[in-house]
Chains A and B, each alone.
Chain A
Amino acid sequence: MNLVTGLISFAVFLQNLEMLWLQKYFKACDPWQKNKHGLNQQIYTLVLIFSLVASICVLISPSVAGLSIMLLSTCWISARFGGSFNGGSDFMTFHILAAALLALLFPSYERIALSYVAAQSVMSYFIAGIVKIKSSEWRNGRALPFFLLYANAAHESSTKYWLAKSPILSLIVSWCVIVFELLFPLSLLSPTSAIIFVSLGAVFHLGNVYFFGLNRFFFAWLSSYPAIILLANPLVTGTQ
């Protein structure tokens, strides 16, 4: 669990750096200004600094206080932006922080906390796979070009046009994504399958960073991978 805690602390550290950098942007324009829950800009900045320091402290040595500060600031930032700042990555960050806090408060529940993190990670891929296989557009390979060309988060790159303009390549990549997501629960079968699936997962998220700029997702999901690898290991799950 220490590795999960360390990785999620690093993710929160990067998230807080981004939020602090955005403070100068929000001085000029803060569309969400009416949702600060009575807190002014200085207090908001202070919360971010506290969370940043807490993430560094937890990286060095996990503590209940540090994890609590990170968890509360994640909730508060989500509330400030009307539910979440970054969608799925905020959700995953919140659940991993909550599990890490639970494991630290009640060490006997560490395996339950690990299982919870692994379950959230596995479910996220599996549900996304179900959604895609139920869609005829994903099955025939036409959804991928649509997202690459028209999604607002999609960045300009020659690769995306190359991929989007080739129906066969789009079909192959679409089915690779669908099969990978649907089979992800198999990662829990053995340490080898866990390593294979989380490696594919890391590549998948790097692809999402390249095409859609979703860097927070990469680190949030990366934090859940040690839980999957540990749960897949019979020496951990079978003998304790």
Chain B
Amino acid sequence: MFMRLLIPSWRFFDITGTIPGLYVRVLGSKDFPDQWIDILHPPDLHWHSLLFNPLGNLHHTLCNTLDNLIQHPEDQYSIEVIDQYVRYYLVAKLQCQGGNLYQFKVTGSNFDADQRNEEDLIISPETFL
């Protein structure tokens, strides 16, 4: 864990990396369409974000966790982090009630001739909220 801190790679904006996406869907509910919803949006930026941008940096951390998950799909800890975030998003942002069935997926976009070539990388099992 500390190796990354001690020996940073400094490979910023490396095109060989995959850009992650995070989607969720609620199954079998009248209140929610049975479609994947993109839930990875950066918060709004303001002039004061130069000094103080906590939600932006939290979003950045979540993206880093997704990056790690794409590189290590078996990493149970990263899966749990993403699952916790998805549960929070369903309840707090989508007002989804407990007892609903949900599922999330992690996608990866690769650079391909100016287009976003997005593919599903990890699809969670259907789980009760």
Contacts and interface: CB of A to CB of B under 8 A. Distances in A.
B1 A153 contact: no
Interface of B: 1-2, 4-5, 8-16, 19-21, 40, 42-45, 49-66, 68, 77-78, 80-82, 84-85, 87-88, 92, 109, 111, 114, 116
Contacts of A216: 53, 57
Nearest to A26: B58
Given A18-B57, A152-B59, A83 B15 contact: no
B15 A135 contact: yes
A106 interface: no
A213 B53 contact: yes
In the A-B complex, the 4 residue pairs with the closest CB atoms? A29-B88, A31-B84, A91-B8, A213-B56
Interface string A100-134: 00000000000000000000100110011001100
A214 B51 contact: no
A50 interface: no
A143 B19 CA distance: 12
A128 B13 contact: yes
Interface in A28-64: 28-35
B11 A152 contact: no
Contacts of A209: 49-50
Given A83-B1, A87-B64, A88-B8, A155 B42 contact: yes
B85 A83 contact: no
B92 A29 contact: yes
Give the dominant DSSP class at A's interface.
Answer: helix
Nearest to B13: A147
Bin chain A's interface residue count: 35 or more
A138 to B, nearest CB: 6
A70 to B, nearest CB: 14
Contacts of A87: 60, 64
Contacts of A214: 60
B4 A83 contact: yes
Nearest to B4: A83
B1 A25 contact: no
Given A127-B10, A143-B13, A153 B42 contact: yes
A152 B63 CA distance: 7
